[in-house]
Amino acid sequence: MVGEGVLQECIANPMVTNILLVNRKPSGYSGPKVEELLHSDFNDISQIAEKLRGYDACCFCAGVSSVGLSEEQYAKFTYTLTLNFASSLASINPQMTFCYVSGGGTDSTEEGRTMWARVKGMTENDLMKLPFKAVYNFRPAFMKPTKGAKNVKGFYKIINSLYPFLRLFSKSFFLTLEEVGKAMIWVTKSGYGKNILETRDILLLGSRK
């Protein structure tokens, strides 16, 4: 859902001229500036390396819920897969800006009680050690899907009707995926003074013209 929202904003933004989707299965999106590359193993991107050269940014939106998973299982899908993908990408395209969708409440110390927050914190910390032009870790909380999104889970369909009221209650917690996508484009174009973007940072950048 997050990746689709970011994609929709990239398609709509005239500053974005070429988009390469790296997916395991077809997304259903096409267009004059959209190319899709299907690849089954994100842990090994050596076979598609040449296709990844020349891009200004990677918006890495893949992820899984920690519900029902052990720490080892969650780390495999969150830390190991992300770092394997990003490490290879950094060697291919070191002038790239890497935008990682983390989550509100992530634990940068890697020592807290919450398992998913520790693993996300470790992922963020090690991504920032890679030789990219820049790495930005995005920590959104609740995100409202963009109109027309295809990959919206049942929970979000229900909560969407309440979103206008929730947004009034707390703009710093309830974001739109349009704001997240715009913020990623902004940091790629102009940079930002922080490597970790909390919801308030995303809201600020997502509202800039």
Q: How many domains does the chain have?
A: 1
The pLDDT, as a whole number, for residue 196 is: 98
Q: Which of 52, 55, 73 is nearest to 64 (CA)?
A: 73
Query: pLDDT digit string (tens) for 70-112?
Result: 999 999 999 999 999 999 999 999 999 999 999 999 999 999 9
**Domain range spanning residue 36?**
2-206
Residue with more model confidence, 186 or 174: 186
Percent of the chain beyond pLDDT 70? 86
- Model confidence band, residue 2 (pLDDT cutoffs 50, 70, 90): confident
The pLDDT, as a whole number, for residue 162 is: 60
Q: What is residue 78's DSSP assignment?
A: I
Q: Give Cα 38 to chain centroid, integer Å.
A: 18
How far is 60 from 66, CA to CA, in rounded Å? 18
* Residue type at position 117: A
Q: Which of 152, 138, 166, 159 is nearest to 57 (CA)?
A: 138
To the nearest 10 degrees (0 to 180), the angle between helices 115-127 and 81-92 is 10
Domain of residue 70, CATH code? 3.40.50.720
- Model confidence band, residue 12 (pLDDT cutoffs 50, 70, 90): very high
- What integer best gives the mean pLDDT of the chain? 90
Query: pLDDT digit string (tens) for 13-45?
Result: 999 999 999 999 999 899 999 999 999 999 999
How far is 54 from 120, CA to CA, in rounded Å? 28
For the entire predicted model, the pTM comes to 0.89
- Model confidence band, residue 175 (pLDDT cutoffs 50, 70, 90): confident
User: Any idea which residue has 């409202």 for tokens?
Assistant: 144
